[in-house]
Chain A
């Protein structure tokens, strides 16, 4: 069995910008939620063979995240980057990724991190699956290749579901299910001494300017404001045991821990 896995990744902003942030290499990094998705793909490759393509959409700084994916062991890296893409919302992003994924066909599995650490919508994975009409499973924590339908597990609260999925399919990966491996130093040297990332423009994936960017986005971020949390400190009285009981009661009432 030789499979082609496409892992969609994002170069995220590390620190919340004031207003609309400008992406610089210093404040960008590979979305930490994408690492488990890359790890899941690498483990599948170890198991079944095949190849992995990392795909990203964004400004040229995304090359760094893709090079990092190459250092981890990804075989091919593609960045879709075009000035017309600026202002794309999650739907426009899904259109772009979907068009690029079609371009990369044939493929068996499209994988996403469950969300991003900067915009945190969790929408791009499922939307992309919808745009290109793939079966979709969210929060997958185990993948077992089979000859016919693949077996996949996902967790919902205290229940674990096992699904049988016809490929090609799209999944988002549970962030704690696949602990990413440390990157070998030689991988970093090889991936960066000769950066091997293809850059595609809008015309390369057959989309028009109106499909993407602000023009192709039904939603837009109207305002971005930092929230200041009001922190208070309350001392609990009594013996340690009483303090612990009072703390548990309080957290349960607040809904922070299950009753």
Chain B
């Protein structure tokens, strides 16, 4: 079926990324999930190929690709290993992107080449034990003392937390100023008082080292403030707008993988003397799954394309994220159903897809928060 939005560049990119992921991540995807192991051996190959600086400018060591290319790459990586797709999505869109968009030339020179080459990994630290969707209620602080920021923070569910070198910490620089007193401070792993907590034992995305990051009286240089003092929530929202496209693309990749496996199994498994695919009940499921995947893809690519055109993207990105994540849960659920008992077994990949899909409705804004964003835009 011919596709709108796609150019020769995107086709080559898709084939090339797909081949790389099938070769390198395919053989280990199930194992790294079960062992909750981050596959450095593959990530170290992805760095020089540009996967950690997909949209960063070429003069800063990035690949200089557009948002649609970015979505396609995250989709294809997630199709094979959603946990590695997650690592790339967070690194590229909510760690590297805010530095590019809000950083000074000095900050670009300091962090972008290292991040874009994958020599250092980025993380986005907003969530706290008592703060999820209500980001303005964070309690982390970064107080101006002498010539540094004194940072205290307890950040949880940090994607890439166990391996991150460059962390965007959301903290109150002016505790009296409420929402307007929140800023982003870039904190580098290894400084005194920087503690990486235990890795979370998660349902899915297990190859990603999600952990807490705690900062105890960290003295961070003043020049590590990203953007202006008090600009934290604006930076966070801009990052999440971009991030939504990545998470939506990730959900799309998982859904496509589940559909592929379901089709393969339905054609191969015989019941009542014919392949499952000959039973109308299964045909109905496959039709719904294919339609969900197609619709999700159109929405994700449209949001990316709008971003490339410089058009407002909040609503399109929120709709894409909402729809793709919920579609991924429906599609993976049906894929398990088609596999029957085998689908509930770790011997089949759909079991992993089912677990991986679930969190896409939760992180980088829950489905409910996305509905709020969309309703606000629709109702005016």
Please give the residue numbers on chain A whose beta carbons come within 8 Å of chain B beta carbons, in ascending order.
24-26, 29, 63-64, 67-68, 71, 182-186, 188-190, 192-193, 195
Contact A186 B8, CB 8 Å, known A26-B2, A26-B3: no
Q: Which residue of B lies closest to A67 (CB)?
A: B8
Q: How far is the CB of B20 from chain A (nearest CB, A)?
A: 5
- Residue of B2, B7, B48 touching A192 (CB-CB under 8 A): B7
Q: Evaluate contact between A192 and B9: CB separation under 8 angstroms.
A: yes
What A residues does B65 contact at CB under 8 A?
A: 185, 188-189
Q: Evaluate contact between A189 and B3: CB separation under 8 angstroms.
A: no
What B residues does A63 contact at CB under 8 A?
A: 8
Q: Counting chain A CB atoms within 10 Å of each CB, which of B12, B19, B20 scores highest?
A: B12
What A residues does B69 contact at CB under 8 A?
A: 185, 188-189
Q: Evaluate contact between A184 and B63: CB separation under 8 angstroms.
A: yes
> Is B13 in the interface zone, CB < 8 Å from A?
yes
Q: Evaluate contact between A185 and B11: CB separation under 8 angstroms.
A: no
Q: Evaluate contact between B15 and A184: CB separation under 8 angstroms.
A: no
Q: Is the interface of B mostly helix, strand, loop or mixed?
A: helix
Contact A185 B73, CB 8 Å, known A26-B2, A26-B3, A29-B15: yes
- Residue of A64, A183, A186 touching B16 (CB-CB under 8 A): A183
Interface stretch of the complex, out of B49-57, B102-110, B177-185: B49-57
Q: How far is the CB of A59 from chain B (nearest CB, A)?
A: 14
Contact A64 B12, CB 8 Å, known A182-B19, A185-B50: yes
> Is B64 in the interface zone, CB < 8 Å from A?
yes
> Is B345 in the interface zone, CB < 8 Å from A?
no
9 nearest CB pairs, A to B: A185-B50, A192-B9, A185-B63, A186-B63, A64-B8, A182-B20, A183-B16, A189-B64, A68-B12
Q: Evaluate contact between B12 and A185: CB separation under 8 angstroms.
A: no
Contact A189 B8, CB 8 Å, known A26-B3, A182-B16, A184-B49: no
Contact A192 B12, CB 8 Å, known A182-B19, A185-B65, A186-B58: yes
- Residue of B2, B9, B12 touching A24 (CB-CB under 8 A): B2
Q: Evaluate contact between B11 and A64: CB separation under 8 angstroms.
A: yes
Q: Evaluate contact between B64 and A186: CB separation under 8 angstroms.
A: yes
28 residue pairs from A and B, CB less than 8 Å apart? A24-B2, A25-B8, A26-B3, A26-B11, A71-B16, A182-B19, A182-B49, A184-B48, A184-B49, A185-B13, A185-B50, A185-B51, A185-B63, A185-B65, A185-B69, A186-B50, A186-B58, A186-B63, A186-B64, A188-B13, A188-B65, A189-B64, A189-B65, A189-B69, A190-B58, A192-B9, A192-B12, A195-B8
Q: How far is the CB of A195 from chain B (nearest CB, A)?
A: 8
A183 to B73, CA, bound (A): 13
Q: How far is the CB of B110 from chain A (nearest CB, A)?
A: 21
A183 to B13, CA, bound (A): 9
What B residues does A24 contact at CB under 8 A?
A: 2
9 more CB-based (< 8 A) A-B contacts, given A29-B15, A185-B73, A186-B58: A68-B12, A71-B16, A184-B50, A185-B69, A189-B63, A189-B69, A192-B7, A192-B12, A193-B64
